[in-house]
Every structure is written in structure tokens, then in C-alpha cells.
Amino acid sequence: MWIGFGEDAHRLEPGRKLLLGGVEVAADRGPVAHSDGDALLHAVADAVLSAVGAGDIGEVFPDTDPRWAGLSGAELLERVLELAGAHPLRCERPRCGRVRQVRAVVTLDRPKLAPYREAMRRRVAELCGLEPADVSVAFKTSEGLAPDHVQARALVVLEEA
Ligand SMILES: Nc1ccn([C@@H]2O[C@H](COP(=O)(O)O)[C@@H](O)[C@H]2O)c(=O)n1
Ligand SMILES: C[C@@]1(CO)OP(=O)(O)OP(=O)(O)OC[C@H]1O
């Protein structure tokens, strides 16, 4: 069994789409990013890389590389799962793992994210080959300490397949 931890943060600006866990959240601001800026999926992807000791998404998908401009969080996570030998459908490595649990926290002052929780759990579970019950997503405000950014942290548990 391997445990991985990941984190991501983006500054928020008006006129950008806010995606979290692959789910579009109705908001007047969204992340400034090279990709779609999905902080929750980025944190899960970094946690998967952390579990297998493979660095972080900034190394795998440099933001200086035009290939990754606009990259969706879903595609980024799928690529990371393949790289880590933990994709639920595709593994060409001699030693494959499976994600067994995801535990995440998103910090954002507004809007309220609770109405989106189940959709986020379902999408993260689908991407990782899990049941929604194996994914938890909690939300926190920063209590006004970081009103202009979105942050996500995630733990994953991987097991040998
Ligand atoms: N963007 C957010 C932030 C928080 N919540 C929920 O609100 C409750 C209070 O959050 P605190 O940070 O003040 O403890 C808590 O139940 C969060 O789940 C939210 O829905 N969206
Ligand atoms: C995903 C990448 C690549 O498009 O760009 P950003 O969207 O800026 O995101 P970040 O979370 O800083 O992680 C890695 C990046 O290189």
C-alpha cells in the first residue's frame, strides 16, 4: 500500500470558468492557469505521483509547454494514472496499482461548494475507477485570509493490483 499527498492552488480572476473535480461551478471568478486550472483534480493527480515517488504535475506537464495549454483536469489525471501504472482500465507496466481511496479538501471562500459535492465525488471516482463512497471531498473557507484563491489538498491510497 502506498499513500500520496498532493496540493494545488490558483489565483482567481473574473471571467474565468471555475472547474473543481471536473464539475463546473457557477461563479463570477475562476482560476488563472495554463490548463483548465481544476485545483481538485490537480491535487489528486499530484497525490498519485507522490504515492509512486514520481515528482509532480509541474514536472510532467510544464506550463512552458504549449501542448498543455488548456489541458483538462480529467485528461491530466488520466495521463498521470497511466504514468503511475494506476489507470483503472489501462496498465502496460509489469507492476500495476489501483487507487483505493481519495480524501480531498478544497479551500474557497465563495461560492458554497456543498451543492456540488456529490457530482465531484462521482466524477473523481469515475476517473480513478472507484465507487463514490471511496472518495470524500470536504470544503473550507479561508475565513477571509485568502479570498482570491482556490486551493485543494488530497490524499490517495494506492494498492498493488
Ligand atoms: N466554498 C465553501 C466553503 C465551505 N463550505 C461549507 O461551509 C461550512 C463552513 O465552512 P468553514 O470553512 O467556515 O468551516 C462547511 O460545512 C463547508 O463544507 C462550502 O460549502 N463551500
Ligand atoms: C497543469 C499545468 C500545465 O498546463 O499548468 P497550470 O494549469 O498552471 O497548473 P498547475 O497546477 O500550476 O500545474 C502544472 C502545470 O504545469
**What is the tens place of the pLDDT at every residue in 107-119?**
999 999 999 999 9
In the predicted model, what is the mean pLDDT of residues 5-12?
A: 98
153, β-bridge pairs: 7, 105
Q: Residue 150 Cα, ligand 1 centroid: separation in angstroms?
A: 13
User: Is 15 known to sit in a ligand binding site?
Assistant: no
Per-residue DSSP letters for 33-102?
-SS---HHHHHHHHHHHHHTT---HHHHS-TT-GGGTT--HHHHHHHHHHHTT--SS---SSS-EEEEEE
Q: Is 107 annotated as a binding residue?
A: no
- Residue 94: its pLDDT value, please? 64
Domain ranges of the chain: 2-160
Pocket test for ligand 2, best of 10, 63, 83 (most atoms within 8 A of CB): 63
Is the predicted ipTM greater than 0.95, yes or no? no
Say what percent of the chain tops pLDDT 90.
89
Nearest-CA residue for ligand 1 atom 9 is 140
Q: Is 38 annotated as a binding residue?
A: no
Q: Does 35 belong to an annotated binding site?
A: yes
Q: How far is the CA of 14 from the centre of ligand 1 (A)?
A: 21
Maximum separation of any 2 CA atoms in the chain, in Å: 48
Digit-coded pLDDT (tens) for 82-100: 999 887 777 666 667 899 9
- Decide if pLDDT at 106 tops 90: yes
Of all atoms in ligand 2, which is nearest to the CA of residue 31?
Answer: 7
CATH superfamily membership of 2-160: 2-C-methyl-D-erythritol 2,4-cyclodiphosphate synthase (3.30.1330.50)
Number of H helices, E strands in the chain: 4, 7
| Res. 20: pLDDT tops 90 | yes
Check: CB of residue 159 under 8 Å from CB of residue 130: no
**Predicted pLDDT of residue 161:** 78
Helix (H, G, I), strand (E, B) or coil at 121: helix
Which numbered ligand comes closest to the C-alpha of 58?
A: 2
**Residues whose beta carbon lies within 6 Å of some atom of ligand 2:** 8, 33-35, 37, 42, 57-58, 61-63, 68, 71, 76
